Every structure is written in C-alpha cells, then in structure tokens.
Homo-oligomer: A and B are copies of this chain.
C-alpha cells in the first residue's frame, strides 16, 4: 500500500524495574498491533522497558543487563512490525535515555534524548548524558525521526531532524500529569509541527508510579499543528493512526476532561496502581465524619472496589454525634466494612502512664496529638493484622501549614488527596456526588474541625480556606515572597503567619507518606526544601 502507513500508539501501564514483565507487555502489544490492527509500526512510551522514572535503579549495572536481554527478546521475536521502544542504554561508562527501532531481528535505528529535564520531579542529568544527533530512518518510504519527551518542548531537536529530511516525528513520552497539563503539551507539540511542517505522533505512558500519575492522553498533530486524533486519558490501549501521503488521517478524538473529573480520575488511578503494584490486598481508612476522609473513602472504592476497602471510625469524647452518624452513613452508602473503636479507654491509659511525668504541667496540644496518635496506632494495627494499607486522608492545605499530627492522622502508606488544596477537595466531593451521592450533604456544608478539643474549628488555628489556599499557591507553587503576596492584596499579618507555618513544618512533610501529584508543584520530589533554614526567620512579625 504505497503512500499509506499505519502506526499504533501503545498507551501502556508499565511497572518500574520489572524489565522482563515490561518486555512481555511490549511484545504482546506489538503482536496485537501486527495481527489485529495490521499496523506497520508501534510506538511505545519513553523508557518503556524500565518504566518511568526508574530513579537510582539507573545506577545499578544489573538494570542494563536486563535491558539488553529484553532487547534481544524483542529482536528474537522477528515480528513484521517496527517496534519503537524506549530504554536506557550504557556505552563507554555513560548512560543515555534512548529510543530504538526494532525491525525484524535487528535494531535499525537508535536515538539518544538530547534535552534532559532536571527540574521539578525530574532528575535526568543525575543519570543520563545528552545525545547530540537526530536519528532519521525510513518507515515505508517516509523519512521518520525519533524524539523523546522534553526534546519536543524545545525547538532544536525537531528542527535538526527536519533538516536531515524527516517528514514525520515520533515522540516517546513519560509526561506526568498535573491539572491542565494536556493543554501545554498540545500547544507545544503543535508549535513544533508548524515550525517544521511535519506531523508528530505523541505517545505517553499511563499509570501511577509513587507520587506520579501518567495520564496517557496520546495524540497526533498534522503538519499544520491540528490535532488529528486523541487517545483517552487514564486508559490503556492501542490506538492506530493512518497516514496517507505523509499526512495523518483524522480519527477519533477522545474528549478533553473537565478539571475536576480529570483530577479525580488521576487520583483514582494513582491510588489503584500504588495499592496493586505494591501487592496490598486493600486499604483501611480512618473516617472522621469530615470531608477529607469522606472523599478519600469514595476514591478508594472507585479505585479498588468496596470489598477491598475498610472504614474505621474512632470517636473520642470530643467527637460530635453527627460526625459518627455521617461516617457510618458514608460507609453504608459505599458498602464497605465499617468498624467503630472508641478511643477513650486508650486515651485514659496514656494519661495514666504520663501522669507522673506531666505532674504540674497543663493540658495543651500534647493531648490533642495523643488522640490523633492513638487513632494512627489503631489503624496501623488493623493494617498489620490484615495486610491492608492505611490510606491517609490529609489534604494539601493541611500538609502545607502542618495542620496534621505526625504519627497520628499522617500515618499510612499513601495519601490520596495529599496534593489537593482544601477548596479543591470540596469541588471533587461535589463532582463525585454528581455521579451518585456517596458523601452526605451536610459533610460538605458544616465547618471543618479536627475535633481534638471542645468545640474546635479549623478557623481557630488557620485563616479561612478561601484565603489560605490562594496564599499557599502563591508561596508554594509560584515562589512568591511575603512582599509579593501582600502586594497582590492579602493581609500582611496573615501572609506572614501562613508562610511561617509552611516553613516550620517542613520536618513533618519530610516524614509524610507519598501521594498523588495533581498540581504543578507537589510536596515530595517536586519541592526539595531544607528542614533547617533561616530564610525569613530574621524578618519581623
């Protein structure tokens, strides 16, 4: 079929470090693309054989031995389809982030990534040397070049490939999700297409890997930068695109998800993959009657199914009746196992044990933290006994200002809404309730409270979330100073107080469970702050 070409975008969910398993998934996809889709080539994501990001596994010589063996397997399969597959490569003591084209029994082209991201969550210069050359190969008569992820965010590599005659670009990606990122990607790739008047096939990974979620969202643009085809977000699959006379034939464009739905689905995928890839039978969640744990419960059930989720309510004397009622109702609505364990007897035992040491000292935040730690210990006991992982329920606003108890409500293996600011927590809860009401309405309307002291409300310690969240976004995500934020119209005393809370609580975040990243800057690998820091300490206020 001269002038006609079918390429499959393999939007796969791979497992970091499982080179052999990933190679099997690659081969299986290639066979399907060949036999069921009659494709000429199949394009896999960046570093498909190791998964992304392999982090310091890339420093282990054995990883490269496993990759070499996997590449041999791909060659030995001698398929009638070109496999374009990402993998790390070692030569003369240097490592490269590489894409190879396997045709028949041989690697016929090999490209080393030129632009190595070393910002935000990325550490590629820790591992890789940069390539310097385009790799152009003939794909059924079409001169085709490879680029890898960051390469397409800068003008150079695509231009160099076009200058060597490339009429089609295949871009392999492991581009992690954050809200609205799809828009940047499509704009950037369209720009490269227009600059060089070449179509670009953009293939991205799907799945959760620790803090990161990869959203797929693979797509094809034509030489004018128009989207010709878009694969769905958050789903795996093989998506064929036909090119006629070098131009992509317009195909199905999966609709772009609204922000709330996209964040919700990113978290569901992140939780599912963390739990499943780490082999947990299920999760256990402490319910408080508040919105954070209610939303986390809904996410867990959507991710794992009700039979893999257990809810535990651990009331104290400060817990209001409506909290107990609402927690029970949440468990009922979602159909999960529900246990109630009052903590008063344990609390009394602790107070007794500490009585002598605390003689003459007055009640303070110690007793509040004690309650949270009893709950954390009870959850961990259930986790140890059943094998289920504790899913933490803290949100990003709390994480930022340290409004959480270390070893208390912070216990757990993974944080579903760790990167979700409180105002967005409400939006996600409303979104989820639109699909079927699972969070009782008054959980969405009552004032948030930790219920660790009589009549406590979050606003006793924090500004209202309508004020707190934008300050946090400016300080944490945009690196604005106190002066910048005040200049934007916020009260100076409030801003100073918030910034101090953020700075002083770095030590808590350092011991926090990982959680799904959904904003442009999450706490974790994305924000590397010193615990010991004098910045801002000298300032007044």
Contact = CB atoms under 8 A, between A and B. Distances in A.
Interface of A: 15-21, 51, 53-57, 59-63, 66, 118-119, 123, 125-126, 208-210, 273-274, 277-278, 339, 341-343, 345-346, 348-350, 352-354, 356-358, 361, 364-366, 369-370, 373-374, 376-378, 380-382, 384-385, 406-407, 411, 413, 479, 481, 483, 507, 510-514, 525, 527-538
Contacts of A361: 385
B365 A339 contact: no
A532 B209 contact: yes
A448 B345 CA distance: 34
10 contacts: A17-B534, A55-B528, A56-B527, A61-B479, A208-B532, A210-B530, A274-B532, A341-B357, A369-B380, A380-B406
A350 B364 contact: no
Given A277-B532, A530-B210, A531-B278, A384 B413 contact: no
Contact of A533 (B57, B348, B349, B407): B57
Contacts of A525: 528
Given A125-B125, A346-B353, 7 more contacts: A17-B536, A17-B537, A18-B533, A60-B481, A118-B126, A350-B381, A373-B407
B345 A353 contact: yes
A357 B382 contact: yes
A173 to B, nearest CB: 19
Contact of A531 (B210, B377, B406, B411): B210
Contacts of A19: 534-535
Contact of A357 (B59, B339, B373): B339
B381 A530 contact: no
A530 B339 contact: no
Given A125-B118, A278-B531, A378 B366 contact: no
Contact of A532 (B20, B210, B382, B511): B210
Nearest to A383: B366
Contact of A538 (B21, B346, B377): B21
Given A60-B481, A534-B18, A377 B380 contact: no
A134 B406 CA distance: 49
Nearest to A413: B507
Contacts of A538: 18, 20-21
Contact of A481 (B56, B62, B273, B341): B62
A357 B507 CA distance: 34
Contacts of A119: 126
B339 A364 contact: no
B407 A384 contact: no
B350 A528 contact: no
A529 B57 CA distance: 7
Contacts of A407: 373, 376-377, 380, 407, 411
Contacts of A20: 538
Given A118-B126, A512-B511, A370 B381 contact: yes
Contacts of A15: 532-534
Nearest to A274: B532
A378 to B, nearest CB: 7
Nearest to A529: B56
B384 A366 contact: yes
A19 B66 CA distance: 48
A199 to B, nearest CB: 32
A210 B527 CA distance: 16
A311 to B, nearest CB: 12
Nearest to A374: B377
Nearest to A524: B510
B353 A530 contact: no
Contact of A378 (B51, B353, B413): B353
Contact of A530 (B55, B66, B343, B537): B55
